[in-house]
Amino acid sequence: MAKAKKIHVTVWNEGRHEKTNKKVAKIYPKGMHAVIAQALNRQKDIEARTATLDEPKHGLTDSVLRNTNVLIWWGHMAHHEVDDEIVEKIKARVYEGMGLICLHSAHMSKIFTRLMGTICMLKWREAGEREILWVTKPGHPIVEGIDDHFILPKTEMYGEHFDIPEPDEQIFISSFEGGEVFRSGCTWQRGNGRIFYFRPGHETYPIYYDKNVQLVITNGVRWAAPAYGRPHAYGHREVGWIEKRARKTRK
């Protein structure tokens, strides 16, 4: 099956900082998810909806998950409140081919750590430092339209070592004012699903309004969208099944 005409995206946000921190609420009055979804909905080939932690089933019912081609995840203070049953359903959908983009502090989310199989810890400091994101994979679809680097004037610092499995592709490395570096854009494949981790997005800075950040997320959606309509089939095969299948296709 060819790629669907529109890529259906669900932007998931924990949505708690926006409710409890006035500074965050001022930057993102409707939540970070609304800003990300709005940017995606400006694209003709993308249709984005949102879901948040406090909705029933966290806004991720079976039908929402079934109809999501790419899921974007932002979480921080309430990772532990995400229902394990829903996490397992998301994981199964990734194995079937749903794309997953984990943003910023989603490095500690249940879904990301379970898919990675490692601790996913890092060093951090919140001091409004400048971050330079350097492109380490020129020509990759995720960096289409991005110069060889871009700058975020004020961010939270994330530093190595980042305890992730070796990425399939290294898209960005960040350097910070204080001297640390960080693998801020990485991809993996799990089953049929493509996963992109993208670091920017601390809630007290207006990072999701940044044009380069929005472009990388948009490119990431197109890259992570499933290319095939059917997951790979596993399991027992009887003697002669290849011939039988060939006869069937010849008919």
- Applying CB under 5 A, which residues contact Zn ion? 105, 156, 202
Smaller CB separation from Zn ion, 91 or 202 = 202
Smaller CB separation from Zn ion, 46 or 106 = 106
Q: What DSSP designation does 231 have?
A: P
Q: How far is CA 99 from CA 23, 46, 49, 71, 205, in A?
A: 32, 14, 15, 6, 26
Instruction: Kindly tell me the sign of the dihedral angle through the C-alpha atoms of 139, 208, 187, 161.
Output: positive
Q: Are 142 and 216 in contact (CB under 8 A)?
A: yes
Tell me the closest approach of the beta carbon of residue 115 to Zn ion, in angstroms: 20
Tell me the closest approach of the beta carbon of residue 104 to Zn ion, in angstroms: 6
Q: How far apart are CA 136 and CA 57, in angstroms?
A: 38
Tell me the closest approach of the beta carbon of residue 36 to Zn ion, in angstroms: 15
Residue with tokens 């532990």: 80
Tell me the closest approach of the beta carbon of residue 208 to Zn ion, in angstroms: 12
Name the strand (E) or helix (H) holding 18: helix 17-20
Smaller CB separation from Zn ion, 105 or 192 = 105
Residue nearest to Zn ion as judged by C-beta position: 202
Mapped onto helix, strand or coil, the DSSP state of residue 168 is: coil
Say how far residue 76 (Cα) sits from the centre of its chain: 14
Smaller CB separation from Zn ion, 124 or 241 = 124
Smaller CB separation from Zn ion, 20 or 249 = 20
Tell me the closest approach of the beta carbon of residue 157 to Zn ion, in angstroms: 10
